[in-house]
């Protein structure tokens, strides 16, 4: 549920040992729920447990643990201790991490009791158990122009999303956010074969011809979602050309164009916000299954 093993690997490779802050328990109104975590090193961190004052306190504790190496369990009533208006309470477990843990990860973080029977994500009797995070949503962003860069920067920090960013040459990419996979493809439509069939595609290249070829390739490959940037006029032309390529109307209707929220404006960041909001509001099969089991 909570263990981002790839995130551990990246942070350890770049920074050496790190401290991890985990919300092990959450009661009442709190900024983030149980299972939320952040990784901290001496001069930086990734992730967030939210809450402003809570996070600043957590960073101080984490750097102390990073230097001293002793696990700490902090029970924090947000109102009395930090003056936060949400008024709930959280239990933080702060640990020093020097290697990627094996899963499931069961360890005693306080006290001296024997281990209880725990399943899934659980914190009880001083023992903490975690499993690897659920597979990330595979989002493929086609195009590294201004809108693509804004969109990747918006999506990359989200732990449930794994971004693959595709364009035709190295020079088209700006600095790559942490956790984003860069794919250089001289012929982007041919790279569609590398995408999993459950991928969610956002097509926004510099070329209408490449956009059309990517839509054609996506329809042949299969996808969970496919969105295309453009106007209603562009989409009308694409629909006609995709039909001429042999795709039926029901298949073509699975591609969404335009994407985003036109009411937000045409600034790249505004487009990115609208597209990201629409993507996050889309129910995935995993989310539907989880809701059905609740």
pLDDT in tens, 47-60: 888 868 889 999 99
Structure tokens at 244: 């001429």
State the chain's mean pLDDT as an integer.
89
Q: Read off the pLDDT of residues 7-38 as tens digits, 9 standing for 90 and up.
A: 899 899 999 999 999 999 998 888 888 999 99
For the segment 122-144, what is each residue's pLDDT rounded down to a tens digit?
999 999 999 987 777 899 999 99
Confidence of residue 101 (pLDDT cuts 50, 70, 90): very high
Cis peptide before 104 (omega within 30 of 0): yes
Peptide bond into 258 cis (omega under 30): yes
Q: Are strands 137-142 and 161-167 parallel, antiparallel or unpaired?
A: parallel
Higher-scoring residue by pLDDT: 81, 204: 204
Domains of the chain as residue ranges with CATH: 5-130 (no CATH), 137-287 (3.40.50.720)
Query: What is the tens place of the pLDDT at every residue in 128-186?
Result: 999 987 777 899 999 999 999 999 999 998 878 889 999 999 999 998 888 799 999 99
Q: Is the pTM of this model over 0.75?
A: no
């Amino acid at each position: 549920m909570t263990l981002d093993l790839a995130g551990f690997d990246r942070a350890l490779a770049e920074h050496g040992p790190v401290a991890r802050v985990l919300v092990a328990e959450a009661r009442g109104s709190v900024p983030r729920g149980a299972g939320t975590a952040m990784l901290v090193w001496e001069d930086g961190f990734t992730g967030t447990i939210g809450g402003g004052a809570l996070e600043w306190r957590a960073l101080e504790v984490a750097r102390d643990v990073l230097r001293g190496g002793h696990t700490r369990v902090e029970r924090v009533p947000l109102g009395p201790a930090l003056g936060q208006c949400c008024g709930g309470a959280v239990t933080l477990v702060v640990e020093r991490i020097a290697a990627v843990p094996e899963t499931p990860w069961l360890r005693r973080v306080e006290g001296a009791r024997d281990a209880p029977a725990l399943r899934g994500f659980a914190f009880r009797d001083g023992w903490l158990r975690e499993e690897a995070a659920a597979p990330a949503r595979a989002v493929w962003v086609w195009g590294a122009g201004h809108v693509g860069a804004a969109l990747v920067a918006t999506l990359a920090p989200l732990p449930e999303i794994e971004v693959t960013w595709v364009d035709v040459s190295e020079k088209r990419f700006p600095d790559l956010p942490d956790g984003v996979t860069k794919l250089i493809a001289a012929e982007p439509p041919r790279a569609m074969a590398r995408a999993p069939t459950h991928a969610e595609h956002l097509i926004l290249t510099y070329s209408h011809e490449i956009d059309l070829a990517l839509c054609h390739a996506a329809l042949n490959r299969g996808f969970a979602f496919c969105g295309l940037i453009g106007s209603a006029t562009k989409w009308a032309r694409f629909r006609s050309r995709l039909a001429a390529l042999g795709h039926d109307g029901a298949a073509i209707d699975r591609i969404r164009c335009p994407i985003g929220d036109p009411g937000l404006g045409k600034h790249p960041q505004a487009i990115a916000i609208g597209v990201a909001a629409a993507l996050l509001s889309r129910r995935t099969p995993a989310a539907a299954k989880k809701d059905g089991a609740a």
